[in-house]
Structure 1
């Protein structure tokens, strides 16, 4: 059962202290860019050349399988764990489709991660029945422990299931994970999933909260909306939850103002971002542009399926009717006290991706970066801030090889940090070329020494460490 803190304000203050430490580079003395410098620099970002980063990439052996699963810079090492099919604590196999993930707790050298599994099948839920939402559905989360001192995984157990297409989500200041469904449907209506046509018992398209220890209560949070969720993040000082929508061609950017910060089960007010000067933000812009913004209320946050035509756009249409901003395929989102960064996978004139920042202090929206072509950056997805001051971008594109990128918070200094190099011949029961499988779930240990990330297919997690440097990821 998810256990919320006795004092949410104290939990939020603790999270702010954590972000402050991250901003100082975990003891490296690196200050984050002030707001004015972010504005000034973003206008130049689109024309900047790629940065050298940590140097050339080379095939690097995995310390678990002894296979060159990744290409990394000199001096970095890693190990894989949590593979699809590995037996969990309850004896069931680890599900596939490793997606969003976050570090929800750290005690000494042991960090706890919660990992999404974006399964779109109705073959039955996995793990203990107490954590099942809709018994027919096969998506959910797995909770893992990793010892950073020893560099070894410790344990893994199922923590939520009976959900569909758990894509990304986000860590809360009170040490839980918000797991987001990227699937919208009504109960008792036939739907076509990858396992065939199914009639599901429950409505889908919600956010679920998963604790750092034990099982989720498998209760949806309807005031966070019923739509094609991608990711979520909590603004440290206000407790507001910001949410992205991964809807093709047209999508909205949302926030939920909770009744009680830290207690999302008590509900809140869902809103959608509106830009005062224009509705269209998918094309025709340049890096550095900023816009005055405000928010419109969504009166029926749990009306995800439009009753007029059955389309899964009931929530976004409520916002668009009030002039809300129109983005395309919003993906990763991450918050500091001053900025809410989020990505649009195929936004921009080249349809290769945008990086945005909403500034809650001034109610402004800033286009931080826009990719000019696929060779520079194609389809940015999950994002996470580094304790060293930069930002990590996970790639999910149609290219033959997927990459992890580093980029400055001002949109400058883009560089390649890692490549998916997975080619298997019977390893862990998998064979084939998986270099085109997306990266997802990037997150750092609190001390900044370990980067965790997922390779979506065949499905495994990696823990990467090495000679990190201030100002980069």
Structure 2
């Protein structure tokens, strides 16, 4: 069991932006370090599902829909490999879900689209959009982004869109004979999908945000600055300062975080939890290199390396991002970044938690903070996977179990009214709406 083998946080819903994330996690580690039990009752024992899909506590119910292979309202089959997802308020009390599909050119399923709506004719990834009624019935579903590569995570924006991130830097120059994953265009970009798009959007790569192994983004609602993680062992932590906040296509400035007094810091080990460090930012001159060298340029200029940066979330002026295999025991780290008060202040960085303990939780991936404060974590480990809750007292509890297979949970988010949790099983690809006696 590993406390964080993949991403710890993902900004997967609009509710995250208004909640301080630190409280339940700080309480969790306070309990752990104090020798207290980190396990609590939660909502009670999980009940076996007669349908063999999703075990939940007594009093909770679900509806399953938008399964891989089912025919969507646009006449095409639902693509596979459901992944990151966000929920937005729709008209007439509906909820709009924008959902990633982590598909490569060699995948068995694809986001179907006409050639003029695909970024890359050989790409199979992208997003689908789902309209869910107040009764939790699927009203409409359709493709909204196509022709991209391994759309794993991303993040929602304050202006009502989903930023879908490509977790690949494949190029036509890297093609090899007989390789099913060959491409016809450069990859490694972010793409924006407005929540209220009624069909396929024009797949415009947000080149100014950089070409690298993108994982997740989070937006500072005060400034419009976008913070980005990079899923590489020698990845960096970036910020994109847009020329026009809220309109990312206009371009901007890409920078990488540097710790003052510690140029080229390797943050995987050697840092003390709770120590505050001043930071500055170095400008990336070549944001769209043919080779995967954005991080190389940043590091040469003194930027700090973070070991496999993945999920990131914003809460009341603070950003939290995870490093999957950081720490002395490679069990993961969570860092906290606080932006500066003005343009001359680069802000501060703190190692928030580094558990180095593999007995608490297995491989949490996507996460969301509920309206009542509990954090819900999706497991992506070997064997049985759970959705695990962390309450404000720092107690862990099992909320849901994948009763179908050993595939990961992902895409967890809440409807804008907080009454419905939406959740994916990645393979075979199923989306759930879950409701019941949530805490108030």
Pair in the same fold by TM > 0.5:
yes
Cα separation, 2, equivalents of 1:42 and 1:153: 37
Aligned: 1:407 with 2:385: no
Give the Å deviation of 1:39.
11
Aligned: 1:335 with 2:314: yes
Aligned: 1:205 with 2:205: no
Aligned residue for 1:453?
423
Aligned: 1:184 with 2:154: no
Give the Å deviation of 1:125.
5.4
3-state SS in 2 of match to 1:114: strand
Calculate the TM-score normalised by the size of structure 1: 0.80
Aligned: 1:416 with 2:397: yes
Structure 2 unmatched runs, 5+: 1-13, 342-346
Pairing partner for 2:54 from 70, 92, 107: 70
3-state SS in 2 of match to 1:262: coil
3-state SS in 1 of match to 2:90: strand
- For the 8 Å contact 2:164–2:193, the answer to whether it is kept is yes
Cα separation, 1, equivalents of 2:118 and 2:158: 25
- For the 8 Å contact 1:59–1:68, the answer to whether it is kept is no
Cα separation, 2, equivalents of 1:125 and 1:38: 38
Give the Å deviation of 1:408.
6.0
Aligned: 1:465 with 2:439: no
Give the Å deviation of 1:210.
0.9
Pairing partner for 2:298 from 319, 324, 348: 319
Q: 1:39 to 1:376 in 2, by over 3 A?
A: closer
Cα separation, 2, equivalents of 1:448 and 1:329: 31
Aligned residue for 2:150?
165
Give the Å deviation of 1:73.
2.7
Cα separation, 1, equivalents of 2:339 and 2:104: 35
Give the Å deviation of 1:415.
1.2
Aligned: 1:175 with 2:156: no
Aligned: 1:133 with 2:119: yes
Aligned residue for 2:4?
none
Cα separation, 2, equivalents of 1:453 and 1:355: 23
Q: 1:284 to 1:422 in 2, by over 3 A?
A: farther
3-state SS in 2 of match to 1:179: strand
Cα separation, 1, equivalents of 2:97 and 2:310: 20
Deviation string, structure 1 residues 275-313 (Cα, Å, up to 9, x no partner): 23541222344543332222221111112x53xxxxx3x
Cα separation, 2, equivalents of 1:40 and 1:364: 19
Pairing partner for 2:68 from 75, 84, 95: 84
Query: Which region of structure 1 is more displaced relative to structure 2, 74-83 or 48-57?
Result: 48-57
Aligned: 1:376 with 2:360: yes
Q: 1:91 to 1:353 in 2, by over 3 A?
A: same
Cα separation, 2, equivalents of 1:388 and 1:183: 36
Aligned residues: 414
Query: Aligned-residue CA RMSD in angstroms?
Result: 2.8
Deviation string, structure 1 residues 169-201 (Cα, Å, up to 9, x no partner): 111111111110001022354158xx9345422
Structure possessing the higher relative contact order (Cα contacts under 8 Å, 6 or more residues apart):
2
Calculate the TM-score normalised by the size of structure 2: 0.86
- For the 8 Å contact 1:176–1:211, the answer to whether it is kept is yes
Give the Å deviation of 1:128.
4.0
3-state SS in 2 of match to 1:94: coil
Aligned residue for 2:244?
260
Cα separation, 2, equivalents of 1:39 and 1:371: 11
Cα separation, 1, equivalents of 2:45 and 2:25: 32
Pairing partner for 1:270 from 224, 232, 254: 254
Pairing partner for 1:365 from 330, 334, 349: 349
1:19-34 to structure 2, matched below 5 A, reads 22-23=18-19, 32=20
- For the 8 Å contact 1:117–1:139, the answer to whether it is kept is yes
Aligned residue for 1:50?
38
Q: 1:416 to 1:162 in 2, by over 3 A?
A: same
Pairing partner for 1:99 from 79, 83, 97: 83
